[in-house]
């Protein structure tokens, strides 16, 4: 079930009505309803994998109880590693089995040895990378004494499978979400309206920005040999806005939907394309994943406290693992390595935490230096996205090579070029709104509050009009469902 589907447009108000009007007298009934709704939501993808989600939930629930019960440190570690091994085992099997087998076959072939790999026709369970990390953070936090195990299975299961975040995050922490699940919730009209506003902006990002950009990004990336260098750059720019509109749009819808039920999820994006350096970009892009790797991988490895070699090693580990988390392809690993190279100069010069606040806070325009730094960071990011989007490493290097070797001008006239120009105009409008609202939790959180009601509703109506005008007959899946 897609957020941008008719099915979800029917599902959400039904669950909302039952939640606030049929079960509002009992927190336990509300949580049971959320669990049933979440399992139904997931089963709409493929009901067979619902059992995998349930098994993972049961595993970490009972592991958490055992970690609190045993007092011997050695036994605690055994239970911890049982959970980690089984969870990562499922993740590796479903997501990386064929990748490892094919990579070994290529390695043996390069050495002149014959190896016939046995590959499997494996379907990747939607959301497995996200709910696996939910469970892992839970058991690790219990092991480290940061939280206590949850006694209510229903409450824990809702934490793992809450439908707004189930298939593409944000990656929640038990310390943040579980207390909200266990606390009585009352309907707040202002919070609900704010949630609807964020859902609206998320749908705009997905349908008007991401889906339109996808059309032209796919066209250009699928046959780079047919285009001039300038057109290939345009293709990379379209993908840059596609992936941001798609993933941050999903996160906005997820956060807005959760707010309708009185729950606040972790913020996942904070206007990353206005970053002044790569370190700031990674504090603002997919925040829940970046912070997860920081807390559960980077810091345990020693973080940036050791010598130069340790700092370099840890940065490469965290970025390579982050790249590999995104998919079973060498392009993601190379994308991670490239971002590590971008990050290293800032870390080694102790300038990785210089830009902590939003750019030009309280001002209309950035300074020339800020604008220059934003432009440089954005350019580096666009270049890295080429590897992320490419089908394989050969495709990536071929695309980049043609940018510099093919004639640069004119822009290639392709089918739909005038519609692409219209999409570019909408992107400019979108980025202006994002800039205007960059100090808020999302771009239109406060936009129009000082306007008269007719003007404010005219703006919302215009956004709805654009969503309706650009909506495709067939719903477009979200990019991060494949991760």
Catalogue the active-site residues: 326
315: tokens are: 């940065």
- CB within 8 Å of 292: residues ≥ 6 apart: 133, 137, 171
Cis peptide before 410 (omega within 30 of 0): yes
Instruction: Name the DSSP letter for residue 452.
Output: -
CA dihedral (302, 305, 308, 314) positive or negative = positive
The span from the CA of 235 to the CA of 215, in Å, is 10
- Radius of gyration of the chain measured on its C-alpha atoms: 23
Helices (H) and strands (E) in the chain, counts: 18, 0
How many other C-beta atoms can be found within 10 angstroms of the C-beta atom of residue 376?
13
DSSP 372-420: HHHHHHHHHHHHHHHHHHSSSHHHHHHHHHHHHHS---S----TTHHHH
Altogether, the residues listed in the chain come to a count of 483
Query: What are the C-alpha distances in Å from 240 to residues 6, 38, 316, 352?
Result: 27, 31, 23, 23
Here the tokens at position 289 are 């994943």
| Contact criterion met (CB below 8 Å) for 308 and 347 | no
Cβ proximity of 176 and 266 under 8 Å: yes
The burial of 143, by beta-carbon neighbours within 10 Å (0-12 exposed, 13-18 middle, 19 or more buried), is given as buried
Q: Count the alpha carbons within 13 Å of 431 in the hemisphere toward its beta carbon.
A: 13
CA–CA distance, 53 with 131 (Å, rounded to integer): 8
């Amino acid at each position: 079930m897609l957020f941008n589907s008719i099915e979800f447009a029917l599902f959400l108000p039904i669950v909302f009505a039952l939640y606030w009007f049929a079960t509002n007298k009992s927190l336990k009934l509300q949580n049971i309803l959320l669990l049933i709704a979440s399992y139904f939501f997931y089963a709409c993808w493929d009901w067979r994998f619902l059992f995998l989600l349930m098994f993972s939930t049961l595993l970490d629930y009972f592991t958490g109880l055992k970690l609190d019960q045993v007092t011997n440190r050695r036994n605690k570690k055994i239970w911890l590693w049982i959970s980690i091994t089984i969870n990562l085992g499922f993740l590796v099997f479903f997501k990386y089995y064929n990748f490892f087998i094919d990579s070994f076959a290529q390695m043996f072939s390069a050495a002149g040895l014959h190896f016939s790999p046995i590959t499997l026709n494996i379907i990747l369970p939607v959301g497995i990378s996200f709910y696996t990390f939910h469970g892992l953070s839970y058991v690790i936090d219990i092991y480290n004494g940061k939280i206590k195990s949850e006694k209510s299975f229903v409450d824990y299961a809702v934490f793992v499978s809450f439908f707004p975040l189930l298939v593409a995050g944000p990656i929640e922490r038990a310390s943040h979400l579980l207390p909200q699940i266990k606390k009585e919730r009352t309907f707040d009209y202002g919070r609900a309206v704010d949630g609807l506003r964020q859902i609206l902006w998320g749908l705009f990002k997905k349908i008007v920005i991401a889906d339109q950009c996808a059309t032209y990004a796919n066209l250009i990336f699928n046959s780079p040999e047919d285009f001039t260098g300038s057109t290939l750059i345009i293709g990379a720019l379209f993908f840059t806005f596609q992936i941001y509109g798609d993933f941050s749009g999903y996160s906005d819808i997820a956060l807005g939907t959760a707010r309708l039920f009185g729950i606040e999820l972790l913020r996942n994006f904070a206007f990353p394309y206005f970053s002044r350096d790569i370190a700031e970009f990674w504090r603002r892009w997919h925040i829940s994943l970046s912070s997860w790797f920081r807390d559960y991988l980077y810091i345990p490895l020693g973080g940036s406290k050791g010598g130069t070699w340790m700092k370099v090693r840890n940065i490469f580990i965290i970025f390579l693992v982050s790249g590999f988390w995104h998919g079973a392809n060498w392009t993601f690993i190379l994308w991670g390595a490239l971002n590590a190279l971008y990050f290293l100069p800032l870390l080694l010069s102790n300038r990785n935490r210089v830009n902590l606040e939003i750019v030009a806070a309280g001002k209309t325009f950035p300074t020339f230096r800020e604008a220059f730094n934003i432009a440089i960071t954005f350019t580096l990011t666009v270049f890295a996205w080429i590897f992320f989007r490419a089908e394989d490493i050969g495709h990536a290097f071929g695309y980049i090579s043609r940018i510099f070797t093919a004639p640069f001008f004119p822009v290639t006239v392709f089918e739909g070029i005038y519609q692409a120009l219209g999409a570019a105009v909408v992107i400019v409008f979108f980025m202006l709104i994002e800039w205007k609202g960059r100090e808020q939790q999302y771009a239109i959180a406060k936009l129009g509050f000082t306007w008269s009601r007719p003007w404010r509703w005219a703006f919302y109506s215009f956004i709805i009009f654009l969503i309706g005008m650009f909506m495709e007959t067939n719903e477009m899946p979200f990019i991060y469902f494949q991760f």
